[in-house]
Amino acid sequence: MYKTVMLTGASGYIGSWTLKELLEKGYTVRACVRDKSNAGKVQHLLDLAKDAPGKLELWDADLLKEGTFDEAARGCDAIFHMASPFTLRFSDPQKDLVDPAVLGTKNVLKAATHSGTVRKVILTSSTVAVYGDNIDMQEQGLSEFTEANFNITSSLKHQTYSYSKVTAEKEAWKIAEAQNQWKLVVINPAFVMGPMLSPNSDSESLNFMNDILTGKYKMGGPELFFSFVDVRDVALAHRLALENETATGRYIISSVTMPFLDLTEIIKKKYPGQFKLPAMKTPRLMILMIGWMYGLTVKFIKRNVGYRIKVSNAKSIAQLGMKYIPFEKTIEDMVDLMAPRRGG
């Protein structure tokens, strides 16, 4: 029985929904944030707790500061570690992405061990820790990506965010295997979409949708395949992984895999004429010529555009009992919230 849990990255896009899920189920949640006095970042968390049966405690913590999570972890039954940079806008990949991801994981897992009470740790990883480029499936002779696969093609210079996630997850497994106090379960969400709870969220998922709605791709979109999942399903998966005593290993959380243009077609059908959506599929040769305008490197384009992928969610359905929200609803709920503030 788990009653008191620690949640890192609580004010984030996924963290906020996970906090809501836990509070509604009656948990006492020690939510770790960068600055609990920053009302703009934590007021929505306080609002979530007002009528919920669970209890919210706010704690200050710094991913890069050793020992900063120790006090919050002491007395907890479990830890959800979600805090890790998700950005494609950075100047120093090691400092801005890899260090916070890896050192933060080390510090949180040390806190779990030092607590003397934590029995389970749920780590939020990503499907980018499963594979780096879409072509990986073909190069590795796979019919689909599963929890057995690890990203072996990303690096500091190529797919840096993906590299930070797989490096942090591997470090977590290394630490977990060296102790016997707590059990590690890893959640590997696909590209997370859906409505946000925070009015000030800067998630790349929201930036991605905002770029679509404001016409960044109005001249055309690449034939780029994504695996997607609703943010509310990700939150649910974390709670189910906690409560299921037989949960073990990694869980890919994904509802659908589709090309980029199929996503924009969903928007086009639901909101005809309202947004500057892609008019056509941009030829691969053209993407190679103008990809820099969208922040795409030649290597990324060559290894991803035009390559189909399949991502298995079978384990999450069979072992966690996941029933995924239809992706059309995910997009509808997300656009309904974002459209009024998209700025033209």
Catalytic residues: 165
Structure tokens at 303: 């290894």
The size of the chain, in residues, is 344
Ramachandran category for residue 340: left, alpha or beta (phi over 0 → left; psi -120 to 50 → alpha): alpha
- Judge contact between 280 and 220, C-beta under 8 A: yes
Partners of 28 in beta bridges: 4, 55
**Rounded to an integer, what distance in angstroms lies between the CA atom of residue 122 and that of residue 307?**
32
Q: How far apart, in whole angstroms, are the C-alpha atoms of residue 31 and residue 42?
A: 10
* SS3 state of residue 184: strand
E strand intervals along the chain: 4-8, 28-33, 55-60, 78-81, 120-124, 183-189, 191-193, 225-230, 249-253, 256-259
Structure tokens belonging to residue 278? 């892609």
Q: What is the sign of the dihedral through the CA atoms of 184, 113, 171 and 99?
A: positive
